[in-house]
């Protein structure tokens, strides 16, 4: 008797928490799903299994992050979290993040108030500047230069300090713009499907193979069948490959038309900024996510879509001239 057994991954919804999403930078609800590795017999899971990974999905942007275990103090049922304000969920499931957000807001309020600084008291603007600077790349030469300028705060006049804060604002804006592009690239890669469903290709193979075998049996002698039937199967495989390639091309163009370009437009970004982030990457780089590699490989189809849209938007008189 043949027994089918082995291991499989089983997903289990663990609950909901709140966190600051690293992809969209918003404080939002996060669905927490545990991926358990379980033994199975005939694909029937056995036992509780072992936790292989935890997947966190932002309810706002749909972005997914994978970690070993979730970092939250507790998780809430979906029904309970859905009836609560995100701030309440944050306080109950992620109190350290909630405290950090409150402290940051209080510091920003003090910095905006602009009250005179008493002797011996820290300047809230300087404190906030160092906090914001700590969120940037510490090895960036511009960050290092700004840190040096901030360390001289007490030895500089008010105009120089104000100029330093403005330069910090400008640098943070550059980081945020770059981060936003990286985020949308990550989200689009998650939604991209490098390979479409193979059912259509299998159906094409089946139909072509059956038709070919029926034809050779009908028209050829028995002695020729040993060569003709394999030839029919090879032909069916070639047809299936062509159908799959055409279906993949159609799916990828649809993705760029219906998902990629509308999402970039919705976020107020330039398509060129997003594409320029993708083009230097190599689809052969195995360190990259497979979906991202597939998206990079499909970029020529995006060029086709953009060219088609440009032709459609060109006035008729320009086509004829």
Q: Provide the residue ranges of all domains of the chain, joining segments of one domain with +.
A: 5-97, 124-179, 199-314
Is 2 a residue whose pLDDT tops 70?
no
Answer yes or no: are the C-beta atoms of 208 and 236 closer than 8 Å: yes
pTM over 0.85: no
Residue 151: CB atoms within 10 Å: 11
Lowest mean pLDDT of 71-85, 122-136, 142-156, 185-199, name the range: 185-199
Model confidence band, residue 223 (pLDDT cutoffs 50, 70, 90): low
Tell me the torsion sign for CA atoms 65, 69, 73, 75.
positive
Residue with structure tokens 């088609």?
Answer: 308
- pLDDT in the model for residue 43: 58
- pLDDT in the model for residue 1: 43
Mean pLDDT on 85-93: 94
Answer yes or no: are the C-beta atoms of 55 and 33 closer than 8 Å: yes
């Amino acid at each position: 008797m043949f027994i089918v057994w082995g291991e499989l991954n089983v997903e289990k919804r663990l609950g909901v928490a709140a966190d600051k999403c690293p992809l969209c930078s918003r404080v939002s609800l996060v669905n927490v799903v545990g991926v358990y590795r379980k033994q199975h017999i005939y694909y029937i899971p056995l036992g509780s299994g072992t936790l292989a990974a935890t997947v966190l999905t932002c309810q706002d942007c749909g972005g997914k992050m994978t970690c070993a275990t979730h970092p939250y103090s507790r998780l809430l049922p979906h029904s309970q979290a859905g009836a609560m304000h995100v701030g309440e969920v944050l306080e109950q499931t992620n109190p350290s993040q909630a405290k950090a957000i409150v402290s940051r807001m209080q510091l920003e309020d003090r910095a905006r108030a602009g009250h005179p600084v008493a002797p011996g008291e820290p300047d809230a603007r300087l404190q906030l500047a160092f906090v914001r600077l700590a969120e940037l790349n510490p090895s960036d030469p511009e960050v290092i230069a700004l840190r040096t300028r901030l360390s001289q705060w007490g030895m500089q006049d008010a105009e120089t300090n104000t100029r330093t804060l403005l330069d910090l604002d400008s640098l943070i804006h550059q980081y945020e713009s770059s981060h936003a592009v990286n985020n949308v690239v990550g989200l689009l890669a998650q939604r991209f499907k490098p390979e479409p469903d193979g059912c259509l290709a299998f159906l094409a193979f089946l139909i072509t193979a059956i038709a070919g075998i029926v034809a050779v049996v009908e028209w050829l002698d028995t002695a020729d069948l040993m060569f003709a039937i394999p030839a029919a199967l090879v032909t069916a495989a070639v047809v299936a490959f062509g159908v799959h390639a055409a279906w993949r091309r159609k799916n990828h163009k649809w993705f760029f038309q219906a998902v990629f370009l509308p999402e970039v437009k919705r976020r107020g970004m330039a398509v060129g900024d997003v594409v320029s982030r993708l083009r230097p990457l190599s689809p052969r780089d195995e360190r990259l996510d497979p979906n991202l590699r597939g998206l990079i490989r499909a970029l020529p189809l995006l060029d086709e879509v953009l060219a088609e849209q440009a032709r459609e938007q060109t006035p008729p008189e320009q086509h004829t001239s």
